[in-house]
Amino acid sequence: MTRRTIGLIADTHGLLRAEALAALRGVDQLIHAGDIGGPQILAELERLAPLSVVRGNNDKGIWAEAIPERLTLRLGAVAIHVLHDLKQLNLDPATEGISVVVAGHSHKPLHEYRNGALYLNPGSAGPRRFRLPIGVARLKIDGDKAQAELLELQV
């Protein structure tokens, strides 16, 4: 049985806060859902745990060219589809056997179920936008079950 904790982060826009690193410490794996802001962010995150990442609309330049726009990870019985902008989701998670959809872009935390799939946006961990919270998330996988917790960072 697969038991893992996945750290979710998005929209760092070049700012990786100490509070975000602290909240993600101890995870088995990390996912960054785009708008990274530079290769230094990826290097810092890779020090914490193995990292999977998608490119956001603001990730431009040679450093970002090899980063995919979307990816699907399979962790035991749980499939996680990652993309930056949920509005660009071009598949049906139920049909594709996807349990969790992770996105960023809006900077708004999201934790909801739609047609049997868990949709998550950890919110923005980078510069504050409007009055939206700064946050990350943890996704716990236990066999074929996935549960998430949104974590608002006090900055």
Identify the pLDDT of residue 30: 98
Burial (Cβ within 10 Å: 0-12, 13-18, ≥19) of residue 6: buried
In SS3 terms, 41-96 reads as: HHHHHHCCCCEEECCCCCCCCHHHCCCCCEEEEEECCEEEEEECCHHHCCCCHHHH
Write down the domain spans for the chain: 3-152
pTM: 0.96
pLDDT grade, residue 150 (50/70/90)? very high
Query: For residues 48 and 5, what is the distance between their CA atoms, to the nearest angstrom?
Result: 13
* Rounded-to-5 percentages of helix, strand, coil across the chain: 15, 35, 45
CATH dotted code for 3-152: 3.60.21.10
What is the enclosing helix (H) or strand (E) of 19? helix 18-24
Q: How many CB atoms lie within 10 A of CB 139?
A: 24
Q: pLDDT tens digit string along 61-88?
A: 999 999 999 999 998 899 999 999 999 9
Using alpha carbons, list the distances in angstroms from residue 66 to 15, 34, 53.
21, 13, 10
pLDDT of 109? 96
